[in-house]
A = this chain, B = another copy of it.
Amino acid sequence: MAGGKADNSKSKANTKGKEKEVKKETKLGLSVKKDDNFGEWYSEVVVNGEMIEYYDISGCYILRPWTMSIWEVMQAFFDAEIKKMNIKNCYFPLFVSPGVLQREKDHIEGFAPEVAWVTKSGNSDLDVPIAIRPTSETVMYPYYSKWIRGHRDLPLKLNQWCNVVRWEFSNPTPFIRSREFLWQEGHTAFASKTEADAEVLEILELYRRVYEEFLAVPVIKGQKSELEKFAGGLYTTSVEAFIPNSGRGIQGATSHCLGQNFAKMFEINFEDDKGEKAMVWQNSWAYSTRTIGVMVMVHGDDKGLVLPPKVAALQIIVIPVPYKDANTQAILDTCAATVSTLSAAGFRAEADLRDNYSPGWKYSHWEMKGVRAVRRDNFVKADIAIDGLVEKVKELLDDIQQSLLDSAKLKRDACVVVAKTWGEFAEALGQKKLILAPWCDEEEVEKDVKARTKGDMGAAKSLCSPFDQPELPEDTLCFASGKPAKKWTYWGRSY
């Protein structure tokens, strides 16, 4: 291939340290298969697909343009939706003073081991160490207390797009578990629990749409157990995805009702419409760049990334295929004209007219990055006439978007096992399934399940109790405790 040749000749002029990369560029494609070594495959896909570059500080990653354009598409959608809900953007500081951070006890217990501390500036020690936000409840709520005085100050609904830091030590994974990540965090305060409850679900529905409509990843909406809920909150709802290849659930995004716990600690009171002092009801909710990792894990294949058209920076790449005795210029002109037509119709299209790479090299390159005129999801090649191009392409992209979701749903559903007894549960867990089991909903029982399933692969835990509950016949017993079951709950290992 022309591409390979050019790269080899280049490497000679380069320094020794660069040779490894040159080799990588030459040998397009992945060295491991998704089914053979999922962890290695994932690392290769995000690096070779130019989404991520590993960074010299462990657990930190560089988000490359191919990633950021996906993030920006989701951000544009979500930001517009919350603005319709009259939620306003703001920006609170990155830093928290220790006194404030520790105000809510359960909350800080949940985050303390992961907090990064600034203790020096230049060569001087700071008087008091300063924490970097792992999340902003304690950063924001002292000011909610200041700003909220009467019922007319409610609801107070703020959101911020920012970075947060959680200095985790276990298994850093690009997008999925990183020490710094990007997210939005919404923080709202209401006069009544009814309003707070309603918003929790309204936001959760937006998260479902981010996953299903944009990333084409099927998710389950439900409520987290007491053990798994947000530290310091009243209850947590989430959208849960599942990764068939690793057999692990993954919390996709969370929408918490904080109840009045933080209001009490931070004295967020108001005079209600009867002139009486009352405490606010609060929510907080967030989704992060983790979404992108879930998408890669669900859709990627042995050729690389597969990007849903709705979030892809480039939806269509036009590759000229010159052949002997052809009028090369005419082919190139047609390619350029095709891109113009598609761009004018609102598609994100480009032509790869580079003359130092062969069509074959280009196919591999763009397949690795998840985009191609040949359908990237099922490799069906279709000849599309120039006449009616725009309509055909629109149909094609809509179809790809839908097919990706449908096929991911089929694969996910094929992993669901209903387990009514501990035996069934243990067997299904061994098979890396997503387990739906009747549960007594007792915290001690979940702790017990964790203890009994401890091992190299990590313990099982509850993922969520789906809002969409199957019928639970009376006298159904808990799979783990044998006590009367109160609900169906999804269980499994998780990220």
Contact = CB atoms under 8 A, between A and B. Distances in A.
A113 interface: yes
Contacts of A60: 93-95
Given A21-B146, A56-B100, A90-B62, A115 B122 contact: yes
B118 A275 contact: no
A63 B94 CA distance: 12
A469 interface: no
Interface stretch (A158-166, A411-419, A460-468): A158-166
A119 interface: yes
A65 B93 contact: no
A84 interface: no
A114 B121 contact: yes
B130 A120 contact: no
Interface in A1-57: 6, 9-10, 13-15, 18, 21-22, 25, 53, 55-57
Contact of A120 (B119, B271, B276): B119
Interface string A63-85: 11101110010000000000000
Contact of A162 (B15, B90, B163): B163
Interface of A: 6, 9-10, 13-15, 18, 21-22, 25, 53, 55-57, 60-65, 67-69, 72, 88-97, 100, 112-123, 129-130, 132, 142-143, 146-147, 149-150, 152, 158, 162-163, 165, 167, 179-180, 182, 267, 269, 271, 275-277, 354, 356
B62 A92 contact: yes
Given A15-B267, A94-B163, A89 B65 contact: yes
A11 to B, nearest CB: 8
A89 B165 CA distance: 21
A162 B63 CA distance: 12
A138 to B, nearest CB: 11
Nearest to A95: B57
A221 to B, nearest CB: 29
B68 A89 contact: yes
21 contacts: A10-B149, A13-B271, A22-B149, A25-B149, A55-B92, A56-B100, A57-B95, A60-B93, A61-B93, A62-B92, A62-B93, A64-B90, A65-B90, A65-B158, A68-B89, A68-B91, A94-B180, A95-B180, A116-B121, A117-B118, A152-B356
A145 to B, nearest CB: 8
B115 A10 contact: no
Contacts of A93: 55, 57, 60-62, 180
B129 A120 contact: yes
B97 A13 contact: no
A118 B118 contact: yes
A204 to B, nearest CB: 23
B118 A116 contact: yes
A130 B10 contact: no
B14 A149 contact: yes
A205 B179 CA distance: 37
Nearest to A272: B13
A18 B149 contact: yes
A113 B124 CA distance: 9
**Which among A6, A89, A162, A267 has the greatest number of chain B C-beta atoms within 10 A?**
A89
Q: Which 4 A-B pairs have the closest CB atoms?
A: A65-B88, A121-B167, A60-B93, A63-B91
**Which among A21, A90, A180 has the greatest number of chain B C-beta atoms within 10 A?**
A90
Contacts of A269: 14-15
Contact of A90 (B63, B115, B167): B63
A323 B321 CA distance: 77
Contacts of A180: 93-95
Given A57-B95, A72-B89, A120-B129, 19 more contacts: A10-B149, A10-B271, A13-B271, A13-B277, A18-B149, A55-B92, A55-B93, A56-B100, A65-B90, A68-B88, A69-B88, A94-B163, A113-B122, A114-B122, A115-B121, A118-B118, A118-B119, A119-B119, A121-B167
